[in-house]
Amino acid sequence: MSSSTFLQGNNDKTVRSQSATFRIQPHSKQKVAYFHHKDVGNFHFGLQHPMKPHRLTLTNNLVMSYGLHEKMTVYCPPKATDDELMEFHETDYIKFLKNVTPENAEKFAEDFPKFNISEDCPIFEGLYDFCQIYAGASIAAAHQLASDGADICINWSGGLHHAKRFEASGFCFVNDIVLAIQHLLRFYPRVLYIDIDIHHGDGVQEAFYATDRVMTVSFHKYDSGNFFPGTGNISEIGYGLGKFFCLNVPLKDGIDDDSYVSLFKDVILDVRDHYQPSVIVLQCGADSLGKDRLGGFNISIKAHGECVRFIKSWQIPLLVLGGGGYRISNVARCWTYETGILLDTELQPELPQKTHYYNFFGPDFSLHPPLVRKLDNFNTRNELQKISQQVHELLRYLEGVPSVQMQELPGDLQGILDESDEELRDAREDQNVDIRGRKRLMWHDNEYFDGDSDNDKDDDQNMDVDLS
């Protein structure tokens, strides 16, 4: 195993060519770097909260049990600093996150509405440490990718795509994706962001809604505002310089493997050909899997992984992040399988018995349990063809690859963000789109609870090992 406990600094500003798409030599082995902080799985949102950071411990343990750590460089990344977090987030918001605790929460209660603190985004012990850890891993991974230290970087603790500049949202407090992309923009002309979480990647879309430096593409469930976060209609296409550089693929419940993978490849290949990205950020939310507690799709781990495999095959520098996923045994299976894909390593279908949490994966103890449930596919063939046609028509509006004058920083980033906020307000008035609508993600009544066979029904009680 090649490992490191820290990342060496690199102060060189590498200015890339504007026109080239950066591909790895086809006959060279892709270098993979893996970022995991030993403490990231030790935090607790609350007993009834569906977000379980312990899923990251399960994932890491399964990755190690398959011996995948021996085929990549493993890093324990540093925490993000206050200043790094404030490169995107408002100073007052970061100060709030840093200072509030469960013990002094009453003192800060008047700020809860301002920063969207709620049952979705509760105050828990170690909240700010948790944010620093997962955001620091994404920033470190972006740094390693930009400094040519790796061709593919993985941070399964990242991908928290709902957090906004001023507030928490949808279990997300700090938007590590935006922070990582901002770092990549210092080195690459064009960043393509792809999101396969079942929930719309609204926080990332909003951050880059008015720029052509980043193209955001999100595949997600959309139900006219009835499904969190209520955004992501195909009509949301960007604003100002960012017009047509935002693409949304809204789907309905029950989409299956063949329909999803076919549409994904059809859309994303056309995006690549039109946008010619310099680097790709891929958010792999596992709540799009079948039988997820908050999801409604019928997608298997193999189909989810096929999307990862397809993007990897392009040989373009790639940052891979986690995201949602609320049946944690399946999250661990999925991200372990996709780690294998990124390493060109086929994994045996039987889970290694030496994994520390082996009993948690029963009763099948398989990498690929059956995830398809008796659920109709409400995405008709005609509807999917119409979505595909609309997407291809939107991509035709791109007037060639955007020409970007490279600088150490992408222009006045703070000015761009301020201007973007103002344009977003105008856009909402013009389009009647509530891009920052404060809907709730928290689920109720165990909609997808599988009875006595559901190993995730009491996650905390089921753990017969030390969670630390």
The reply to whether 356 sits in an annotated binding site is: no
C-alpha–C-alpha distance, residues 139 and 331, integer Å: 23
C-alpha–C-alpha distance, residues 180 and 161, integer Å: 12
Please choose, from the candidates 107, 98, 155, 167, the residue with its C-alpha nearest in 3D space to the C-alpha of residue 131: 98
The reply to whether 430 sits in an annotated binding site is: no
Radius of gyration of the chain (CA): 21
The reply to whether 445 sits in an annotated binding site is: no
Tell me if residue 162 is catalytic.
yes
Torsion angle of the four alpha carbons 117, 122, 128, 130, in this order, in degrees rounded to the nearest 10: -130
Please choose, from the candidates 387, 321, 11, the residue with its C-alpha nearest in 3D space to the C-alpha of residue 159: 321
C-alpha–C-alpha distance, residues 391 and 386, integer Å: 9
- How many degrees, rounded to 5, is the angle at CA 44 between CA 43 and CA 48? 165
The reply to whether 120 sits in an annotated binding site is: yes
Helix (H) or strand (E) holding 259: helix 257-275
Instruction: Give residues with Cβ within 8 angstroms of 102, minimum separation 6.
Output: 123, 124, 125
The reply to whether 200 sits in an annotated binding site is: no
Cis peptide before 78 (omega within 30 of 0): no
The reply to whether 287 sits in an annotated binding site is: yes
Indicate which residue of 54, 162, 200, 220 is catalytic: 162
C-alpha–C-alpha distance, residues 54 and 460, integer Å: 9
Give the residue ranges of the annotated binding site: 120, 170, 197, 199, 287, 326
Which residue ranges are tagged as binding site for substrate?
120, 170, 326
Mark the binding-site residues for a divalent metal cation, compressed into ranges: 197, 199, 287
- Catalytic positions are 162
